[in-house]
Chains A and B, each alone.
Chain A
């Protein structure tokens, strides 16, 4: 046979690549600036440390990266950037843990009753992983995730609701952010001519 055995189109032509629409439902999450804020909220220190470390790991792979400190600071502010492996990243300004609704209720119940079962909040079956949070220079009182989406105000430490897309995003390897200084340097030769072949 001289032809392809089976073929299909992965992409409909003439469309721009876009993600399938994600539903923007609300989800409960815990947002903390650091381990201290976490423990003072009543979560066991061990649990706070564990999630902090997990978010820190995500931070290293997901945080926006910049080629120079200057570029990074222009987004995140003076001395709000750190160097790692030659690239600049904003400092992690906080971390969040997604919760199932019943876990929140259970945890709040426990708090109200002042029982020592607060750590139920963060027991394995309730959370869906910790994520890093950032605060940018121009929008300093909002937490943003590594995808630069606003998550919540920094004042809503502890339990809050966030959009599910801002916490359940697919972690993607971050790109090194650059600044484009000019555009349109290609294409002029084509505008006056027909070509192809």
Chain B
């Protein structure tokens, strides 16, 4: 059972931590100047909608064994399972239907997979309490966010708290994301030597712009020439190429914009024929899709890191006493989710998704520490597991209002 850490006496906590294999929540004094530091870096979304988003009033402590056995290893394995499934799904018209991928894009998706278009990153969300197997809640493999705060900001927090003497010198963090991002960019650059990499996100969102700027910073570090264009500003030239506002052709583009949206936008037709290289590549549309959850359960039943999940035609197979979660196939940021237990809706969220159908997953309550529910976001950079970021929410459904909390490894 998770135990709420009292703070202060680190030595006895460490022993409890190691003996019971639990994760600990330990209150800590926030750095006095973190807000100024954040503003100076341009990390403007540390407070969103008047609520704190970055919360360093406490941290979570894991042991190295917990990180390596319970999170890192399953992350690698699940990633390989996902790639195995992409291959199956690409070969199967019926499954592509189930994934709500428009028929005219099937060849785009297939070609991108068969060409082995390189990909950059992805994030698994786990339900993990430190004692039992981490359970996969969902995979965000097309447009995962919270990257900057995980890879950079959380790392700086640890570095500064150790320097200030507030954390032991031996504290570590499961977080080599930035290093791996840069080396991944270097690797992908080899396939696009002559091209400028355009970065793109939607207008009017500080969080997305922040994420994209952070990625651009990593790409620059890797020696890639970069440009930025808003998604809404992308144009189409008379020679049928996508262009930026200065009429430069876009040959290679990172987009923080879901594939399923691109499939439905006005430029869907040119998108099929143009040779622009996208990050993430089109085959990722299969993995950002909640329909992957029932497929995982079908191909790897009773896998220790999976929860039972079904399409609506087989939802009767779920144990109603354990409760179930209804998720739209394209849901993002926890929209339109319903948690049912013994026929009662115990939690739900609003949104505009669901026209594309739903999947049903067994309900697994998120571990609760001092009144906050924790979700562990575990990152893949390329084909390597790279680190975690924790989100805390008072509600059972983690949405974009939830707080980001730091972690350390000790023992």
Interface residues of chain A, those whose CB is within 8 Å of chain B, are: 1-5, 7-17, 67, 71, 175-190, 192-197
Q: Which residue of A lies closest to B62 (CB)?
A: A2
Map CB proximity to A onto B232-275 as digits: 1 under 8 Å, 0 otherwise: 11111111010100011100000001101110111100100000
A194 to B337, CA, bound (A): 14
A10 and B257 contacting across the interface, CB-CB below 8 Å: no
- The SS class assigned to the B binding surface is mixed
B333 touches A196 (CB 8 A): yes
Q: List the B residue with the shortest CB-CB distance to A180.
A: B235
- For B353, the chain A residues whose CB sits under 8 A away are 193
Min CB–CB distance A19 → chain B (angstroms): 13
Once the chains bind, are A194 and B144 in contact (CB under 8 Å)? no
- Determine if A178 and B237 form an interchain contact, defined as CB atoms under 8 angstroms apart: yes
* CA A190 to CA B177, docked complex, whole Å: 28
State how many angstroms separate the Cβ of B149 from the closest Cβ of chain A.
11
Q: Is the CB of B265 within 8 A of A189?
A: yes
What is the CB-to-nearest-CB distance from A191 to chain B, in angstroms, rounded to a whole number? 8
Q: Which residue of B lies closest to A67 (CB)?
A: B239
| Bound: A64/B249 CA distance, A | 14
* Subset of 17 A-B contacts with CB under 8 Å: A3-B175, A4-B175, A9-B41, A9-B214, A11-B213, A11-B220, A12-B42, A16-B228, A17-B216, A71-B238, A178-B239, A183-B236, A185-B234, A187-B202, A187-B232, A187-B257, A193-B351
Return B350 CB to nearest CB of chain A, in Å. 10
Give bound CA distance, A106 to B275, whole Å. 56
Q: Among the listed B206, B209, B236, which residue makes an inter-chain contact with A180, where contact means beta carbons less than 8 Å apart?
A: B236
**In the complex, A17→B209 CA distance in Å?**
13
* Contact A179 B247, CB 8 Å, known A9-B41, A189-B261: yes
Q: Does B145 sit at the interface, judged by CB under 8 A?
A: yes
- Interface size of B by CB at 8 A reads 77
Contact status A178-B243, CB under 8 Å: yes
Determine whether the beta carbon of A9 is less than 8 Å from that of B217: yes
Q: Which of B40-80 contact A (CB under 8 A)?
A: 40-44, 64, 67
Residues of chain B within 8 A of A5, CB atoms compared: 179
**B158–A13 CB distance below 8 A:** no
* Residues B172 and A3 in contact, CB atoms below 8 Å apart: yes
Q: Which residues of A contact B209 (CB under 8 A)?
A: 13-14
**Additional 15 contacts, C-beta under 8 A, given A4-B176, A195-B333:** A2-B175, A3-B155, A4-B155, A7-B179, A12-B41, A12-B213, A17-B227, A185-B270, A187-B230, A188-B266, A190-B202, A190-B257, A195-B335, A196-B143, A196-B333
In whole angstroms, how far apart are the Cα atoms of A177 and B247 in the complex? 7
CB <8 Å contact, A178 and B247: yes
> In the complex, are the beta carbons of B249 and A14 less than 8 A apart?
no
- Cβ of B3 under 8 Å from chain A: no
A175–B238 contact, CB under 8 A? no
Alpha-carbon gap, A54 to B202, bound state (A): 44
Residues of B contacting A175 in the complex (Cβ-Cβ under 8 angstroms): 248-249
A181–B237 CB distance below 8 A: yes
- Decide if A196 touches B145 in the complex (CB within 8 Å): yes
Most chain B beta-carbon neighbours within 10 Å: one of A17, A175, A180 = A180
Residue in contact with A14 in the complex, picked from B42, B67, B145, B202, CB distance below 8 Å? B42
B323 at interface by CB-CB < 8 Å: no
Which B residues between 312 and 347 are near A, CB-CB below 8 angstroms?
332-333, 335
Determine if B173 and A3 form an interchain contact, defined as CB atoms under 8 angstroms apart: yes
Residues of B close to A193: CB separation below 8 A: 335, 351-353
Q: Given the complex of chains A and B, what is the CA–CA distance between A70 and B231 in angstroms?
A: 29
Query: Shortest beta-carbon distance, A170 to chain B, in Å?
Result: 13
Closest 10 A-B residue pairs measured CB to CB?
A185-B267, A13-B42, A189-B261, A180-B235, A14-B42, A178-B237, A187-B232, A11-B217, A183-B235, A185-B266
Task: Say yes or no: B220 contacts A7, CB within 8 Å.
Answer: no
Contact of A196 among B67, B228, B400 (CB under 8 A): B400
The answer to whether B178 has its CB under 8 Å from any CB of chain A is: yes
Shortest A75–chain B CB gap in Å is 12
A1 CB contacts on chain B under 8 angstroms: 172
B317 → chain A closest CB, angstroms? 27
Nearest-CB distance from B264 to chain A (Å)? 5
Known contacts A12-B41, A15-B213, A193-B352; A188/B400 CB under 8 A: no
Q: Which residues on the A side are within 8 Å of B67 (C-beta)? A: 2
The residue that A181 contacts in the complex, of B42, B179, B207, B235, with Cβ under 8 A, is: B235
Contact B249 A197 (CB under 8 A): no
Give the residues in chain B near A183, CB-CB below 8 Å. Answer: 233-236
- Chain A residues, Cβ within 8 Å of B258: 189, 195
Given A10-B221, A13-B148, A197-B332, the answer on whether A186 and B231 have CB atoms closer than 8 Å is: yes
Question: Contacts A3-B173, A179-B238 given: A196-B207 contact, CB under 8 Å?
Answer: yes
Contacting pair A181 B238 (CB below 8 A):
yes
Q: Is B85 an interface residue (CB 8 A)?
A: no
A182 and B236 form a contact (CB under 8 A): yes
The A-contacting residues of B in range 198-221, CB under 8 angstroms, are 202-203, 206-210, 213-214, 216-218, 220-221
Given contacts A14-B213, A183-B233, contact A189 B172 (CB under 8 A): no
Task: Return the chain B residue nearest A185 by Cβ.
Answer: B267
> Is B409 in the interface zone, CB < 8 Å from A?
yes
The CA of A27 and the CA of B219, in the complex, are separated in Å by 36
- Shortest CB–CB separation between residue B164 and chain A, in angstroms? 17
Q: Does B140 contact A (CB under 8 A)?
A: yes
B120 at the interface (CB under 8 A from A): no
A7 to B155, Cβ gap below 8 A? yes
Query: Is there an interface contact between B262 and A13, defined as CB atoms closer than 8 Å?
Result: no
Query: Pick the contact of A2 from B172, B228, B241, B260 — CB < 8 Å?
Result: B172
